[in-house]
């Protein structure tokens, strides 16, 4: 399975600022996925990032708030823009385990606190 390096692992940010989260995969992957996990809640998909095209956002998430870059097949960034305390959460990137529906491998996560 792919190994994902995600950074930063945690950050405390002032409201109104932006934070960019990076994920580096040790192999080429077609799709990368960005999730949010709020305390005590399930993982919620923010968007799917394909190399060479715009990310596909899920209902309730917009590009202006969560811009995503996918410059190549091993790297992606998620920016949380104009942050508010409601954005405090854990953000995770993930890739599929092999081809087909075999589940996901996740990065180590970014714990974001907005004050």
Partner 1 sequence: QKEVEQNSGPLSVPEGAIASLNCTYSDRGSQSFFWYRQYSGKSPELIMFIYSNGDKEDGRFTAQLNKASQYVSLLIRDSQPSDSATYLCAVSSVGTGGFKTIFGAGTRLFVKA
Residue range at the interface with partner 1 (CB under 8 A); choices 19-27, 61-69, 72-80, 106-114 = 106-114
Q: Give the nearer residue to partner 1 in terms of CB position, either 1 or 28.
A: 1
Tell me if 107 contacts partner 1 by CB under 8 A: yes
CA atoms within 13 A on the CB side of 36: 17
Pick out residues in 27-46 that bind partner 1 (CB under 8 A). Answer: 40-45
Tell me if 69 contacts partner 1 by CB under 8 A: no
Token pair of 58 as six digits = 């899920």
E strands, 14-103, in order: 19-25, 31-37, 43-50, 56-57, 68-72, 75-80, 89-96
- Cβ neighbours of residue 86 under 8 Å, at least 6 residues apart? 114
Binding mask of the shown chain, residues 49 to 68, with x at each position contacting partner 1 by CB under 8 A:
-------x------------
**Residues near partner 1 (CB under 8 A):** 40-45, 48, 56, 92, 97, 101-109
């Amino acid at each position: 399975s792919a190994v994902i390096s995600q950074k930063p692992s945690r950050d405390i940010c002032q409201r109104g600022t932006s934070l960019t989260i990076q994920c580096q995969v040790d192999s080429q992957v077609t799709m990368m996925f960005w999730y949010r996990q709020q305390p005590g809640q399930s993982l919620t998909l923010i968007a799917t990032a394909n190399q060479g095209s715009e990310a596909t956002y899920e209902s309730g998430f917009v590009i202006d708030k969560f811009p995503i870059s996918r410059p190549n097949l091993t790297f992606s960034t998620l920016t949380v823009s104009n942050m508010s305390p409601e954005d405090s959460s854990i953000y995770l990137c993930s890739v599929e385990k092999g081809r087909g529906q075999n589940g996901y491998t996740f990065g180590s996560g970014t714990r974001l606190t907005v004050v």
